[in-house]
Amino acid sequence: MSTIFLDLGGTLVDIRPTYHEPIYYILLKNGYDVELKNVYRAVSKYLGKSTLPVVEGNPVIDVEEILKIMNMKVDPSTMQELLSLKFSSSFYTLYHDTIPFLTFMKNKGYKIIVITNASKKVNEIIKNTGISEYLHGLVASYSFGKVKPDPEIFKEGIRIAGETGYYVGDLFEVDYLGAAKAGLEPILLDRNGFYDDIDVRKTKSLTEILKLF
C-alpha cells in the first residue's frame, strides 16, 4: 500500500462549533445530567444513518432524533433552544500532530487522500491551513453527491488512488464502519477517549499511527 486516506474535521482539522458540544452545553446549562461523551456518541450514531437529508454537502442535524438516541426528553424551552442551534463552521485550526504526520507520510512517498463530508468551504479550509501541498486528492461530499458512511464516497477515493489502504477518521459509525464496508482498513482516531469501550483498531493521536509505517 502506498496511499493513506484521511478524514478532515476531527482528524486533521479542529473545526468549531462541533455538532455535539452546543447540544451538550445547552443541556448542561438547563440542568440535565448528561456527559459530553454520550452526546458525541449519539451524534455519531445519528450521522451513521444512510438516509439523512443533505444540504450543501453536510447532513442535516435533527436534534430531536439525537435526543431519541440518547433516550432523553427535555422541556419545551430547552427543546426550542436546541432547535435554534446553527451548525455552520466558523472556526478551524490544525491539530498539533497534523503537519508532523502529513510531512512524515509525504516523505515516505505515500499519496494522501482526504475523504470528507463538507460544503464548498472545505476548499478554503485546506488552502488556509496549508495542507493542500500534502494532498494527492480530495473527495468532498458537496461535489461527489454522497456522504459518509456511504461506501461509494470511500470507493471514489480508492478509484483516485488506484488501490486501497488505511483510512483514519474520528466517528465510529461514519468513518470506521463506512470505510470498512468500502474495503479500506479503518483506524478510529479517538482523541478524547469517547470510544474506550469499543474494541477496534484505534489510536488517540496521529503520531501513534506512524509506528504502522
Say how far apart CA 166 and CA 163 lie, in whole Å.
10
pLDDT value of position 166: 98
Mean pLDDT, contiguous 10-residue spans, the chain (213 residues): 95 94 97 97 93 81 96 97 88 97 97 96 96 97 94 97 98 98 98 96 96 85
Domain assignments of the chain as residue spans, ordered by start = 3-15+91-212, 18-83
Q: How many other CB atoms are found less than 10 A from the CB of residue 191?
A: 15
Contact 172, 186 (CB under 8 A): no
pLDDT value of position 84: 94
pLDDT value of position 22: 95
- Whole-Å CA distances, 96 to 13, 47, 100, 102, 143: 9, 26, 8, 11, 29
pLDDT value of position 58: 86
> Phi and psi dihedrals of 29, rounded to 5?
-60, -35
Rg for the chain, CA atoms, rounded: 17
pLDDT value of position 202: 96
pLDDT value of position 53: 73
**What does CATH list as the number for 18-83?**
1.10.150.660
Fold of 3-15+91-212: Rossmann fold (3.40.50)
Instruction: Name the grid cell of 164.
Output: 486501497
pLDDT value of position 159: 98
- Whole-Å CA distances, 162 to 1, 98, 158: 10, 24, 6
